[in-house]
Structure 1
């Protein structure tokens, strides 16, 4: 599958979440509005999640979240925030090396929410 096909497969797989494809600085992102991220002791809150589909900052892909999720103590959050698409985002240190965009997005999401 080429990049465009993988991107379409990712967006189509999560169509019920109304993902939006955006490009900034040559990087393609998929914005997932209001995904649930477990916070604290079982409480859940919805927040926007942004997935970079290209290499960025030494990572093959990166997941950005509008607020830090403290559920998993072993997730290494970056000390600085990022300004992407005119918004502030937070990220954590996690690397995927194989799989489709859909699989890599799911790997990142599972890592941060602990599912």
Structure 2
């Protein structure tokens, strides 16, 4: 027996749509994939994800913590260090995020070829 879902992502005001807005962000996917491998502190995360600015990393970490995907643990060291790790909810998302990462790395050449073919067609049509 199929139980009716409480939410329908295709409806305009469905709160589940917010998940797609957040998870579709490249930095969010990269952060989740890195933390799926191991707990990391801020500077190590920044080093692991080339091109992310400290400001953006900080914003994304706060967002992910607010949404329950990661947790932060303050280490009582000198200087103080904060470690980030995935929650059980974050680990579930990480499985999907890893599949997207794997798919992208495996299929990007086909995507690039399709783009080049399309662009060549567009150039020919505009002549």
* TM-score normalised by structure 2 residue count: 0.22
- Which structure dedicates a bigger proportion of its chain to helix? 2
* TM-score normalised by structure 1 residue count: 0.23
